[in-house]
Amino acid sequence: MSDFVTMAEMGRVIYTPPSGPPQGPGPNSAIYRIMGEANIFRMISDFYKELEQSEIRHLFPPNLEESSQKSAAFFVTILGGPPLYFEKYGPPRMRARHLPFEIDESARQVWLRCFEKVLEGADVKYQFPMEHMEGFKDFLKSFSAWMVNKA
Ligand code: HEM
């Protein structure tokens, strides 16, 4: 699927955030070096447990296990690790992959709140290096803004 999906194909009007794709360097790669793959997979698994209890549960498939694995593979790369997502699932094209799901600003806020909860005490839970937490949260804010596709 490309980003140039027509309204007829999607059956709805696609909103494009005027800010455009996220700019900037992305999270510090020391995060992966310090946490390692297993901690990142655990962190994302806990994040999906939060999503499961949230108001945006309906957007996700019934079984969240595969979703969690896919997201974890993506975050490994984002945080400075090997290209796991690309190897298993192909080019990320994240905005295009999110287009089938109606994501508005309030869904984004719920998504961010779920992440916020998981990141509380992340140093103890997942060895997250807290000096890079602010940069990571900035990344989540700007990347998630680009996933919004409904006004
Ligand atoms: C703005 C709020 C967001 C919402 C409501 C949302 C929702 C969703 C939904 C419904 C799916 C499809 C179900 C699944 O396979 O998991 C999905 C997939 C995914 N999301 Fe998000 N997402 C958001 C933001 C993000 C952000 C900011 C990232 C990464 C930084 C991300 C990473 C992923 C990944 C890697 C997948 C799997 C794609 C695939 O291979 O199919 N999402 N998301």
Question: pLDDT by residue for the chain (151 residues), tens digit each?
Answer: 445 555 556 678 999 999 999 988 899 999 999 999 999 999 999 999 999 999 999 999 999 999 999 999 999 999 999 999 999 999 999 999 999 999 999 999 999 999 999 999 999 999 999 999 999 999 999 999 999 999 9
**112 Cα–ligand 1 center, Å:** 12
- Secondary-structure class of domain 28-147 per CATH: mainly alpha
Q: What is the pLDDT of residue 65?
A: 97
Q: What is the pLDDT of residue 4?
A: 56
pTM for the full predicted model: 0.94
**103 Cα–ligand 1 center, Å:** 10
Q: What is the pLDDT of residue 24?
A: 83
Domain boundaries, the chain: 28-147
- Cβ atoms of residues 135 and 27 within 8 Å: yes
Q: What is the pLDDT of residue 64?
A: 98
DSSP of 88-105: HH----HHHHHTTS---H
Tokens representing 115? 């992440």
89 CA to centre of own chain:
15
Q: Which of 5, 11, 24 is CA-nearest to residue 93?
A: 5
Q: What is the pLDDT of residue 1?
A: 46
Say how many Å lie between the first and final Cα of the chain, rounded.
21
Report the nearest-CA residue for atom 15 of ligand 1: 67
